[in-house]
């Protein structure tokens, strides 16, 4: 299985609600470069993040639009989509639908498991879509 196939499988399994895939496809020694308040930068923290996200957005899906691989690195650009039905980052359920751009860069080890991750999620756009912060003024 190629690293791109592994990454595609990860997004598909998380979208299907299978957070146990974290234990299978991510190394115990993962170096997580993203900080998320209250969540450790470890494989367990990644699992905790996706469990929290699924609780807040039960219909969570990742729609990947672009994926490139070179050597042991894979870069994906896509969208995090879901309906806000549970508490997320202190925001009570709004019932709002979100569609938020994401990007992930993952380095894979020789065993085909993710060993390093950098990611970007447009949380500002998410907070606007949830109605927590106002849309920017146009003009």
User: What is 38-58 written as a DSSP string?
Assistant: TB-SSHHHHHHHHHHHHHH-T
CATH number, span 3-129: 3.10.450.50
Say how far apart CA 14 and CA 95 lie, in whole Å. Answer: 21
Name residue 109's beta-bridge partners: none
- Where do the domains of the chain lie? 3-129
Instruction: Quick: pLDDT tens for 27-85.
Output: 999 999 998 888 999 999 999 999 999 999 999 999 999 999 999 999 999 999 999 99
Provide the 8-state DSSP code for 76: E
This prediction's pTM: 0.91
Return the structure tokens found at 72: 């042991």
Instruction: Quick: pLDDT tens for 116-135.
Output: 999 999 988 999 999 888 87
């Amino acid at each position: 299985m190629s690293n791109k196939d592994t990454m595609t499988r990860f997004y598909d399994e998380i979208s299907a609600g299978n957070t146990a895939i974290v234990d299978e496809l991510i190394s115990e020694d993962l170096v997580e470069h993203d900080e998320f308040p209250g969540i450790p930068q470890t494989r367990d923290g990644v699992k905790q993040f996706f469990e929290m996200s699924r609780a807040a957005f039960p219909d969570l899906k990742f729609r990947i639009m672009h994926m490139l691989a070179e050597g042991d690195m894979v870069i994906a650009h896509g969208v995090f989509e879901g309906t806000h039905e549970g508490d997320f980052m202190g925001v009570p359920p709004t019932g709002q639908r979100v569609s938020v751009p994401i990007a992930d860069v993952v380095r894979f080890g020789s065993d085909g498991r993710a060993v390093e991750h950098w990611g970007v999620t447009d949380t500002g756009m998410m907070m606007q879509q949830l109605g927590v912060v106002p849309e920017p003024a146009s003009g």
